[in-house]
Amino acid sequence: MSVTFPASVPFYKMQGSGNDFVVIDNRAARIPELEMQRFAVAACRRAFGIGADGIFFLDLPKERTDVDVIWHFFNADGSRAEMCGNASRCAARLAHMLGMAGPGLSIGTDAGVVRAEVFEDEREVRVQLTPPCGLETGIALDLGGGEAFTGHFVNTGVPHAVIFVENVENVDVDRLGRAIRYHARFAPAGTNVNFAQIVSAEAISLRTYERGVEGETYACGTGASAAVYLAHHLKLTGPDVQVTTSGGERLGIGVVEGALFLRGKAEITFSGVLNLQSVGLA
């Protein structure tokens, strides 16, 4: 049985390097976990709702002492995601601004504990992602029709395939990204897909097709981290790389003894109150 929502719910709209999110302070909103998927689809729908790549519900931990805050993160299509790098930076900054935690904090995600440091003067956040796992290189991807690519894979909190290309501007990200996202090699869960151009030993240009958004996004923190992790593993770059996203923003990625660090802007663009009747939730 569906829960009856309140007439309205306050929200924040945030973006991390162009990856945009609806944020609910669930200490007050008290959206039940079983109803979050339905809420996510309605709130993230562009033109009809607030519009976003994803949504997270931020709360204080009730039964654990190893983290400062917890979240429930959903993609725009309502699918639950284990992790989102850019959203974790937004979560850390908002939690600090709301007094939920200090500038050095930890976030409980479905992928594990993410540790963050807020640099308020620069409006930036640095996070240490969960340990990368599932590394595979040299994966043959036959897309049919004479199209074939060599891909690489690593899970940086969520699964990521990375294809290194000569020029990212020439890539049909939506078509090829969708084909690889649903490729049998990554079934049944599928994967996010990144097309990476090595600019120098310290720079990568990146475009990402995100699972759950089902299209190209302006940025993807875990995708940028996956690209740098693989590029460094393949000796294509050094351990500290600036990644330029399709939105034109830059993310700083560092590989330190196998651990991944992600730093970039985390901005509150606006806040408001969502009329739930207008999006079919009340």
Domains delineated in the chain: 8-128+267-279 (3.10.310.10), 133-257 (3.10.310.10)
Average pLDDT, integer, range 86-96: 98
Kindly name the residue from 44, 84, 90, 133 that is annotated as catalytic: 84
User: 194 labelled as ligand-binding?
Assistant: no
Q: Is 167 annotated as a binding residue?
A: no
Does 220 participate in catalysis according to the annotation? yes
Summarize pLDDT for 32-56 with one digit per residue, the tens: 999 999 999 999 999 999 999 999 9
Residue 44 among the catalytic residues: no
Residues 97-105 have a mean pLDDT of 98
Read off φ and ψ for residue 123, nearest 5 degrees.
Answer: 55, 40
Residue 2 has pLDDT above 90, yes or no: no
- Tell me whether residue 207 is annotated as binding: no
147-155 and 203-210 beta bridge pairing: unpaired
Judged by DSSP in three states, 3 sits in coil
Using one digit for the tens of pLDDT, what is the confidence trace for 177-230? 999 999 999 999 999 999 999 999 999 999 999 999 999 999 999 999 999 999
Q: Is 26 annotated as a binding residue?
A: no
Taking the model in full, what pTM does it have?
0.92
Annotated active-site residue in 44, 90, 133, 220: 220
Q: Say if CB 279 and CB 43 are below 8 A apart.
A: yes
Q: What's the token pair of residue 262?
A: 């992600």
**Binding residue per annotation — 210?**
yes
Phi, psi (rounded to 5 degrees) for 172: -85, 85
Q: What is the mean pLDDT of residues 63-69?
A: 93
Q: Are 190 and 158 in contact (CB under 8 A)?
A: no
